[in-house]
Amino acid sequence: MMLPKESPAVLMVGNFAQAGPVYGSVGHELAAKLESAGWYVLRTSYHQTRILKVMDMLRTSWRARNRFEVAHVELYSGPAFLWGEAVCKVLRWLGKPYVIALHGGNLPNFALKHAQRVHTLLRSAVAVISPSPYLQKTFIGSRPDVQLMPNALDLSSYPGRLRKRARPRMIWLRAFRAMYAPETAVASLARVVPEHPAACLTMIGPDRKDGSLERTMALARELGVYDRISFITGIPKSEVGAYLDQADIFLNTSTVDNTPVSVVEALACGLCVVSTNVGGMPHLLREGQDGMLVPPRDAIAMSSAITRVVADDGLAAKLSRNALLRATDYDWSNVLPRWNHLLLSARGNNRVSSSEKVSREPLA
């Protein structure tokens, strides 16, 4: 898609604090892709502390007002909703158009408790996008025109390998955090071992310091499978594909979810996915076709699904083949042109006087 000769400018408002070589956020990767497509991109915020993050977002939105024409604001539930709400208020004062990007499997629950605030905020945006049909359908009452925009990835970075059979080599890739129930993966492994003595599990993810990592390790010792598990709390983003390729079965144990990038990465590698059926997962995976879906915190059901995949070569091959096909919908080559079109259209809704010059000079 051809862009105007003068680079369009966008302000990206989200959590860039964790963006880096190990775990880059969705917004971080989108910002880099937009720059490669010719956009001038401003980012906020890199602060870890909540109050500093909010202050930086508000300050940047105001002080950089002559340096961007449209804003992209990530919207999450809980305390993170506050900075999205506050930044959008400043953008309205400035007459700047903004696109709201819905994130997080817990956002629907938050909206039930704060229906009017969420409704008002979504109605104020030029456009609202969702990475999954789950959130799209949830918020159709506030915005009937919520647009579907998948979380994208570079398929070329992932070794897409067809599994004609699945060995009991499993991998789990998520943050060690209570809502992702990492203990379920350990309990499932313990139930698989008697039938498959070679079963093993790799667990990769940052420690969110809520005690989940310690509880998971303690359970592994209690169930006698600690020596079968590799605990890794950080790998470079560039190596995710290589780690996934070493396994045949991907476990997603979350209790709240939307469309996690980690699951899409597993699909891109051709892994057989066994996931909880929460949130947006039934929209991402067709049961028995693209993956196996089980109830949350149910190690019996998850271990049963694992043993089915290992025992049935035809099922494993079907899941792997369909996973590779499903992943093509999420390649940046398909998604980036849609982002270009969306942001350029939103930019055209700018209510700021056309005589106001957009500067590219650094902030003082």
Tens digit of each residue's pLDDT, the chain (364 residues): 444 447 899 999 998 876 444 445 688 899 999 999 999 999 999 988 889 999 999 999 999 999 999 999 999 999 899 999 999 999 999 999 999 999 988 899 999 999 999 999 999 999 999 999 999 999 999 999 999 999 999 999 999 999 999 999 999 999 999 999 999 999 999 999 999 999 999 999 999 999 999 999 999 999 999 999 999 988 988 899 999 999 999 999 999 998 899 999 999 999 999 999 999 999 999 999 999 999 999 999 999 999 999 999 999 999 999 999 999 999 999 999 999 999 999 998 743 333 334 444 444 3
List C-alpha distances in Å: 354 to 246, 298, 349, 351, 359. 55, 58, 11, 8, 13
Q: Is 89 left (phi over 0), alpha (psi -120 to 50) or beta?
A: alpha
List C-alpha distances in Å: 244 to 98, 186, 249, 263, 330. 36, 18, 9, 11, 17
Write down the pLDDT at residue 348.
Answer: 80
Q: What is the dihedral of CA 186, 152, 85, 17, to 10 degrees?
A: 60
Half-sphere exposure of 329 (CA within 13 A, CB side): 16
List, in sequence order, every beta strand (DSSP E) within 46-113.
70-75, 98-102
Write down the pLDDT at residue 25.
Answer: 67
Domains and CATH numbers, the chain: 9-152+332-347 (3.40.50.2000), 155-328 (3.40.50.2000)
Residue keyed to tokens 């969420």:
118
List C-alpha distances in Å: 26 to 15, 23, 128, 142, 309. 9, 10, 16, 24, 31
Q: Which residues pair with 42 in a beta bridge?
A: 11
Residues for the chain: how many in total? 364
DSSP letters for 229-270? EEEES---GGGHHHHHHT-SEEEE--SS-S--HHHHHHHHTT
**Radius of gyration for the alpha carbons in the chain, expressed in angstroms and rounded:** 21
Residue keyed to tokens 């990038």:
261
Beta-carbon contacts of residue 189 (< 8 Å; ≥ 6 apart): 170, 199, 200, 201, 225, 228, 229, 303
Instruction: Give the number of other CB atoms < 10 A from CB of residue 23.
Output: 17
Write down the pLDDT at residue 353.
Answer: 33
List C-alpha distances in Å: 121 to 52, 70, 100, 227, 233. 23, 16, 9, 49, 36
Task: Enumerate helices (H) and strands (E) in the chain, giving the number of each.
Answer: 14, 12
- Residue pair 148/130 in contact (Cβ under 8 Å)? The answer is yes
- Report the chain's terminal Cα–Cα distance, integer Å: 34
Could you tell me which of 138, 133, 134 has the C-alpha nearest to residue 122? 138
